[in-house]
Structure 1
């Protein structure tokens, strides 16, 4: 039965690793996507020490280690820089270095009444112009409608698509500084990032923590008219996929052989 438990836990773990690799491959063309790498950890193991103390045939230490299988330890976020894609579109912004844009996700009810606001992080700089009917200006928004915010947490507004963004995030229109700045934010502990879909991240806060306590300005620069491609290496992911599939086949075969052995044992016992 122990071999069944070990192989079953391995199958569940390998399936999770396959899902992680598939997700990386599915986002190979997603702007600003950061791949995740699965790591494994061993489950609880026992040591059997009933072997004879004087065993000249054994080169290993005394005792027999019996494991309980493996599990997914963590899926680490790879924050390495993706390649640059020049687009020459004024609303396309790329972060060169570590950090994220901050956007605000506003929730409304079916009547359009504002309910709550949530700040999120993203590396996807493919912003679009969304009209602000109240002022006649335009917001810079993501594909799902979240609004880019400045260093004070206020929505970034521009008069038209004829604007210039400097490396440090200052916005100029007709050569004049609009006094609006797009900062690049980062968090010291990457493990506090939680992927929530739409190529965005939320922060896992501890009791008493506020988002402003965790954000700090990055030394990264902004490049206008360019986008950051995903950092997924297709050849490396395909190699991981083949290796993981072979591990899945091996554990499936181990379950089948164990089932056959148990069937033989039952037949011998019934005689």
Structure 2
């Protein structure tokens, strides 16, 4: 029975590793996507300390330890820089270094008539211009493909004029026709531990603070620079992911075979016992 439990646990872990690799491959062309790895950890083991120890040179503890298999303990984010793709679109922004853009999503109104917003973080810099939420004809916001509004250092929407040339310097300062726009600067926030953030879909991470603090009051500013007219592509290496898929498939086949052999052995034992 122990062999069945070990192989079954391994099958679950290998299936999760396959799912992780498959998700990486599916997002190989997603702008700003960061791949995830699969880290295995050992399950609890049983120790039979009643076994005699006759080996005088043995360095391990006396007794016999029987493992219970492995599981996927972590699927850590790989935050390495993706390749740059030049688009020459003024609203396309690429982060060079650590950090993410902060965007907000409109969630509706509460019972008191207050606007409800959800804050998210993303590396996807494929923005476009959209009329601001107040319906102004003179100001536009930078928004993502799903309509999330890019925010500044104070948590306010980035507002841009509708005419003229817009330039974004490497430090995030926005210029209109070569002149700085006062209080219009695109920040990049640094995440010390991206794995603690929940993925909310659409290549975004949900901001959830237990104390209810706003992200711009908690997160530090990154030293990363910005490139206008470029997009950061996925950091998925297809060759590496396919190698991981092949290894996972081989491990899956091995454990499936182990279950089959264990079942056959138990069947033989039952048939002998019944005679």
8 A contact 1:5–1:69 mirrored in 2: yes
- How far apart are the structure 2 equivalents of 1:222 and 1:90? 12
Partner residue of 2:181? 178
Partner residue of 2:103? 103
- How far apart are the structure 2 equivalents of 1:168 and 1:254? 57
Partner residue of 2:8? 8
Q: Summarize deviations over 1:42-67 as a string: whole Å, max 9, x none.
A: 11012223444325998976422200
- How far apart are the structure 2 equivalents of 1:239 and 1:225? 34
8 A contact 1:38–1:76 mirrored in 2: yes
Partner residue of 2:271? 267
From 165, 170, 192, give the equivalent of 1:167: 170
- How far apart are the structure 2 equivalents of 1:189 and 1:60? 36
Q: 1:67 to 1:209 in 2, by over 3 A?
A: farther
8 A contact 2:91–2:229 mirrored in 1: yes
Structure 2: which 5+ residue stretches go unaligned?
none
TM-score normalised by L of structure 1: 0.92
> How many residues were matched structurally?
268
TM-score normalised by L of structure 2: 0.91
Partner residue of 1:217? 221
Q: Which runs of 4+ in 1 moved over 4 A?
A: 55-61, 207-210
More divergent stretch after superposition (46-55 vs 169-178): 46-55
RMSD: 2.1
Secondary structure at the aligned position of 2:227 is classed as: strand
Secondary structure at the aligned position of 1:130 is classed as: strand
